[in-house]
Amino acid sequence: MNFVEELRWRGMLHDMMPGTEEQLLKEKTSGYIGFDPTGDSLHVGHLTQIMTLIHFQRAGHRPVALVGGATGMVGDPSGKSAERNLLDEATLNHNIASLKEQLSKFLDFSDRGDGAVMVNNYDWFKDFKFLDFIRDVGKHITVNYMMSKDSVKKRLEGENGMSFTEFSYQLVQGYDFYYLWKHHNCLVQMGGSDQWGNIVTGTEFIRRKAGGTAYALTTQLIKKADGNKFGKTESGAVWLDPKKTSPYKFYQFWLNASDEDAKNWIKIFTLKSKEEIEAIIAEHDAAPHTRAVQKALAKDITTRTHSEEAYDTAVKTSEFLFGGGDLAFIRNMDDVGVLEVFEGLPQFRVSKDVLQEGVNILDLLASHTSIFPSKGEAKKMVQGNGVSVNKEKATNVEQVYASGDLINGKYLVVQKGKKNYFLIIAA
C-alpha cells in the first residue's frame, strides 16, 4: 500500500516536502503526529490525524503518537487567536492517560515491528535547563526565520500580540522532531496544514544541528460544505469520550451530514476501499432519500470509536425517536444506559407513591408533570389519538397508570404528537 497515494485519492493530502514519498516507498519509516493534551478527550476534529496514523500503520510504517505534556504547558499559536490556559502537571498526566486509551482503539500499540509508540515530550523537557535550551536549540534557528512563519505573523498583527512563551513554541516543537529523529529514527512529521511552519522548523533544525535529513507531510483541514467549522454543533464539540458525547449523539452527528459532506467524509473517516465507496455513492445517488452514504459513514466511525453494541443502541434509539421502533431494547439496560438513550429529552420526576396508588392520565400529564399546560389540552390531545405512553396509544381519558406500567420499574416514556418525547422517572 502506497501511503501517500492513499491520502491523495481520499482527498486528505495537502502538502509534503520533496523526497517524502520516495522515502516512504523505499523502506519502513517511523513518523509522528503531535496531540494536544489540554483536555482529557480527543474530538472529531482530531480524527483526520488519527486516520493519517492508521493509514501510515496499514502501509507498513511505524506510527508515533506524541502527546505534548511539555508543549501543553506552553501553548501553540497556530490557528489560535488567543493564548491557551496553561495546565498543571497532575491535570496533564490525567489527560495523557485518557488520550492513550482513546488512541488505542484506533492504533495497534503491540510490540510487533510496526506497532505504534506513544511518547510524551515532557519526558525529555522536564530536566532541560533554560540556559542549555537557548544554547543548544535557540542558536540554530534565527529570529528572522521564526518571524517569517504565517502563524507568528498573524498573531503579531492581531490586537493581543503573542508572548515569548508562545513565540518559542516552534523551537520546542522543532526540538521534539530532532529528539525523535535522533532517539527513535523518526524521519517524518505529519499534521494538519496549519502545522506546516512548525513542522518544517523541525526539519530545518535537524539539518542545521546535525546535518540530518527529515521530511514533512500535512493533511487538509476539514471544513463543512456550508462553511461552518467541522466537528462543532449547537451544543459544542463532538467528543470521542462517550461520557462527553453519547454514542447516540455521535452517531447522529455523522448521520445528519449533508450529501456533499458525507461523500467527502466517507473517504476521509472510514477504511472502506475506493470501490466500496463508489458503490455506496452510486446507491445513494439512485435513491438519495435512503441516505446510504450517511448511514455507511455513521456505522463505520461509530463502531470503531465506540463498539458494535453502542452503534446498535444508537440505531435503535434513532428508530425509536424518529420511526416505528419499540422500547424492547432498553428493558435490559441499567439506569445509566436508559438516561443516555433519553439524554436531551425533557424529564420529569414523579413520586413512586403516586404511581403505587395509580394516577389518571390527565393528572399525570398536566398536574404531576407539565407535559401539557392544562388537563383540558391533555384531554383534547388524548381523545385525538395524539398521546402515546410507552409506545402504546392512550385514547381513554380515564386510563390509570401504576407501578406495573413502569419500564424497568422506573420509567414511563410519553410521546406527544409525532416527535415530542418526554421521560417520566419514578423516584
Among all residues, which ones are annotated catalytic? 38, 43, 46, 80, 84, 173, 194, 229, 232-233
| Adjacent-strand bridge partners of 379 | none
For residue 121, what are the contacts with CB-CB under 8 A and spacing of at least 6?
Answer: 34, 66, 67, 68, 69, 70, 71, 172, 176, 179
Whether the predicted pLDDT of 341 surpasses 90: no
| Secondary element (H or E) of residue 186 | strand 186-192
Residue extents of the structural domains in the chain: 3-219, 232-324, 347-426
Neighbour-count burial of 191, counting CB atoms closer than 10 A to its CB (0-12 exposed, 13-18 middle, 19+ buried): buried
Identify whether the C-beta of residue 132 lies closer than 8 Å to the C-beta of residue 125.
no
Q: How far apart are CA 340 and CA 343, in angstroms?
A: 5
pLDDT for 399 beyond 50: yes
CATH number of 232-324: 1.10.240.10
**pLDDT tens, residue by residue, 153-167:** 777 777 777 888 778
- Take residue 398 and report the three cell numbers written for it: 380515564
C-alpha 350, offset from chain centre? 36
In CATH terms, the superfamily for domain 3-219 is: HUPs (3.40.50.620)
Q: What angle do CA 139, 67, 105 make, to 5 degrees?
A: 155
pLDDT tens-digit readout, 299-321: 999 999 999 999 998 998 888 87
Determine what percent of the chain is predicted with pLDDT higher than 70: 94
Angle at 405 between CA 402 and CA 411, to 5 degrees: 100
* Mean pLDDT, residues 164-191 taken together: 91
Beta bridge partners of 216: 189
The C-alpha cell 502545522 sits at 195
pLDDT (mean) for 87-112: 87
- Give me 98's grid cell: 485518557
CATH number of 347-426: 3.10.290.10
3-state secondary structure of 99: helix
